[in-house]
Amino acid sequence: MSIRVHALAKELKLSSKELLAKLKQFKIKAKGHMSALDEQTAKILREGLKAKPKAEAKTPKTSKPPKAKAKPKKAEAKPKKAKAKPEEVTEEKAKSLRVKIPLTVKELAIKLETKPSELIKRMMGMKVMATINQLLDEETIKGIVKEFGFSLERLPNLEDELLEVHQQEDAPKELSARAPVVTMMGHVDHGKTSLLDLIRKTKVAYREVGGITQHIGAYEVTVEGKKITFLDTPGHEAFTAMRARGADTTDIVVLVVAADDGMMPQTIEAIDHARAAGVPIVVAINKCDLPNINIAKVKAQLSQHNLVPEDMGGETIVVNVSAKTGQGIDNLLEMLLLEAEMLELKANPHRPAKGVVIESKLSRGTGPTATILVQNGSLTLGDILICGDYYARIKSMVNDRGEPVKEVAPANPVEISGLSGVPEAGEAFYVVKDEKKARDFSFRRLEEKRLKGKASIAHISLEDLYQQIKEGKIKELKIIVKADVQGSLEALLTALQKLTSKDVVAIKVIHSGVGNVNASDIMLAAASNAIVLGFHVSTESQAKPVAEKEKVDIRLYNIIYEATADIKSALEGMLEPHLKEVFLGKAQVRQMFKITKVGSVAGCMVLAGKMIKEAHCRVVRDNEEVFKGKISSLRRFKEDVKEVSAGNECGIVINNFKNTRSADIIECFEIEKIARRL
Contact residues toward ligand GDP (CB under 6 A) are 186, 188-194, 234, 286-287, 289-290, 322-324
> Which residue, 286 or 371, is less far from ligand GDP as judged by CB?
286
CA distance 469 to 594: 53
CA distance 74 to 80: 14
Name the minimum Å distance from CB 288 to ligand GDP. 7
Helices (H), 126-227: 138-147, 158-167, 192-203
> Which residue, 288 or 372, is less far from ligand GDP as judged by CB?
288
CA distance 307 to 319: 13
Name the minimum Å distance from CB 268 to ligand GDP. 15
Name the minimum Å distance from CB 286 to ligand GDP. 5
Handedness of CA 386, 388, 391, 394 (dihedral sign): negative
DSSP 397: E
**φ, ψ (nearest 5 deg) of residue 75:** -95, 80
> Which residue, 191 or 534, is less far from ligand GDP as judged by CB?
191
In 3D space, the residue among 547, 515, 658 whose CA is nearest the CA of residue 593 turns out to be 658
> Which residue, 13 or 192, is less far from ligand GDP as judged by CB?
192
Handedness of CA 130, 136, 140, 142 (dihedral sign): positive
Name the minimum Å distance from CB 36 to ligand GDP. 53
- Cβ contact 584:669 at 8 Å: yes
Name the minimum Å distance from CB 609 to ligand GDP. 39
> Which residue, 187 or 586, is less far from ligand GDP as judged by CB?
187
Tell me the β-bridge partners of 151.
96
> Which residue, 111 or 190, is less far from ligand GDP as judged by CB?
190
Name the minimum Å distance from CB 183 to ligand GDP. 12
Name the minimum Å distance from CB 179 to ligand GDP. 23
> Which residue, 52 or 287, is less far from ligand GDP as judged by CB?
287
* Chain centre to alpha carbon of residue 632: 23
Name the minimum Å distance from CB 266 to ligand GDP. 9
- Cβ contact 418:394 at 8 Å: yes
CA distance 666 to 145: 46
Tell me the β-bridge partners of 555.
533
> Which residue, 286 or 461, is less far from ligand GDP as judged by CB?
286
Name the minimum Å distance from CB 276 to ligand GDP. 21
> Which residue, 203 or 658, is less far from ligand GDP as judged by CB?
203
Name the minimum Å distance from CB 192 to ligand GDP. 4
> Which residue, 194 or 316, is less far from ligand GDP as judged by CB?
194
> Which residue, 117 or 233, is less far from ligand GDP as judged by CB?
233
> Which residue, 184 or 507, is less far from ligand GDP as judged by CB?
184
Name the minimum Å distance from CB 400 to ligand GDP. 19
CA distance 313 to 502: 35
> Which residue, 192 or 444, is less far from ligand GDP as judged by CB?
192
Name the minimum Å distance from CB 291 to ligand GDP. 10
Q: For 405-463, where are the E strands, in sequence order?
A: 407-408, 413-419, 428-432
CB contact burial 144-179 (16+ within 10 A = b; e otherwise): bbebbbbebeeeebbbebbbeebeeeeeeeebeebb
The CA–CA distances, whole Å, from 304 to 284, 297, 465, 514 equal 17, 11, 33, 17
**φ, ψ (nearest 5 deg) of residue 471:** -80, 0
CA atoms within 13 A on the CB side of 270: 29
CA distance 441 to 604: 47
* Amino acid, single-letter form, for residue 585: G
**Using H for helix, E for strand and C for coil, what is the string for 563-610?**
HHHHHHHHHCCCCCEEEEEEEEEEEEEEEEEEECCCEEEEEEEEEEEE
Instruction: Report the SS3 class of residue 195.
Output: helix
Name the minimum Å distance from CB 537 to ligand GDP. 25
> Which residue, 56 or 289, is less far from ligand GDP as judged by CB?
289
CA distance 487 to 392: 54
CA distance 625 to 35: 13
Name the minimum Å distance from CB 284 to ligand GDP. 10
Widest CA span in the chain: 98
